[in-house]
Amino acid sequence: MDLGLENRVILVSGGASGIGAAIVDQLKAENAQPVILDLSEPADSQQNFFTVDLCNDSDVTDAIHKIRERFGSIDGIINNAGLNDSVGLDSTREKFRVSLERNLVQCYGLVSTCLDDLKKTRGSIVNVGSKVADTGQGGTSGYAASKGGLNALTREWALDLAADGIRCNAVIPAEVWTPMYEKWLSSQADPESRKAEIESRIPLGPRMTTASEIAAMAVFLLSDRSAHTTGQIIHVDGGYTHLDRAYRG
């Protein structure tokens, strides 16, 4: 399906690896111009890449200025960067604030910096959230609060920006197989058994979601094929988030 994204300039925060890299790949397949904003360099040195600390206002402002100069316009933003940092109730207030900065405030900062650009192009925003905002996880108050806040901002921005023709939606992953997830799983006492246990709770499959499946939804929501869709929070998770917790297949 041609999503009509040819030559559109799309910013992808955290686009160097994992779900972000999968989003970049799908944007390239649609002949868009993905621009990666990340602290880590992508494996492919041919990518459009800017080293940015998204929690640093001047870093973001400088990067957006350079992007305007190089590309001339910004047609969309995918807020993908974030980290499940295990900042729980036993952490300090300062660590909680840092978690909010890292996982929520930086999304606000990027969108607000690019707002005039998006208004000119009638662009689109896609936020990548987490099932933790819906289900909880335990031991990660900062991340849970941030992703809950990102869901709220998705609906707030959809209303704020509707008159400007700017759409805002969110994609919610649950158990997604990425290098980061694989690294975490390898730290478990019995990785294979733990993986099987997790997959047994996913109704459709049962298997983990792939990064490319998250990317496909994010890119679709960014495109004109979803031109009348805004304020939606869409779970791409094989039914995991909404299952009855007594479910065992």
* Distance, CA of 160 to CA of 164 (rounded, Å): 8
* Residue 244, pLDDT above cutoff 70: no
DSSP string for residues in 72-117: S---EEEE---------TTS-HHHHHHHHIIIIIHHHHHHHHTHHH
Residues known to be catalytic? 143
Partnered with residue 11 across adjacent β-strands are 35, 77
Looking at the domain assignment, is residue 187 inside a domain?
no
Residue 220 lies in a domain: yes
Tell whether 194 is covered by a domain. no
Is 34 within the bounds of a domain? yes
CATH number at residue 53: 3.40.50.720
Tell me: the pLDDT tens digits for 165-194?
999 999 999 999 988 888 889 999 999 999
The pairing of beta strand 124-128 with beta strand 167-172: parallel
pLDDT digits (tens, 9 = 90+) for 88-142: 999 999 999 999 999 999 999 999 999 999 999 999 999 999 999 999 999 999 9
Domain membership flag for residue 169? yes
Closest CA to 110 of 183, 188, 148, 55: 55
pLDDT of residue 245: 64
Q: Tell me what pLDDT residue 135 has.
A: 92
List, in sequence order, every beta strand (DSSP E) within 54-210: 76-79, 124-128, 167-172, 176-177, 209-210
Structural domain includes residue 202: no
pLDDT at position 249 is 59
Q: For the full predicted model, state whether its pTM sits above 0.85.
A: yes
The owner of tokens 């925060």 is 13
Helix (H, G, I), strand (E, B) or coil at 48: strand
What pLDDT, in 10s, does the model give residues 2-21? Answer: 899 999 999 999 999 999 99
pLDDT tens profile 62-82 = 999 999 999 999 999 999 999
Domain total of the chain:
1
Alpha-carbon distance of 222 to 170, in angstroms, equals: 10
From the centroid of its chain, how far is CA 140? 18
CA 167-141-176 angle, 5° bins: 60
Of 163, 164, 160, 158, whose CA–CA distance to 126 is shortest? 158
Q: Which domain holds residue 30?
A: 9-175+210-235
Residue 7 — φ and ψ, nearest 5°?
Answer: 65, 5
Taking the C-alpha atoms of residue 138 and residue 89, their distance in angstroms, rounded to an integer, is 9
Q: For residue 247, is pLDDT > 70?
A: no
**To the nearest whole number, what is the mean pLDDT of the chain?**
95
Residue 25 lies in a domain: yes
Measured over all CA atoms, what is the biggest interatomic distance in the chain, rounded to whole angstroms?
54
pLDDT at 29: 96
Check pLDDT > 80 for residue 248.
no
In a domain, 4, yes or no: no
Q: Work out the angle at residue 107's Cα, subtended by the Cα atoms of residues 103 and 111, and round it to the nearest 5 degrees.
A: 180
Q: Which residues of 117-153 are buried (b: 16+ CB within 10 A; e: fewer)?
A: bbeebebbbbbbbbbbbbeeeeebbbbbbbbbbbbeb
Determine contact, residues 223/167, Cβ cutoff 8 Å.
no
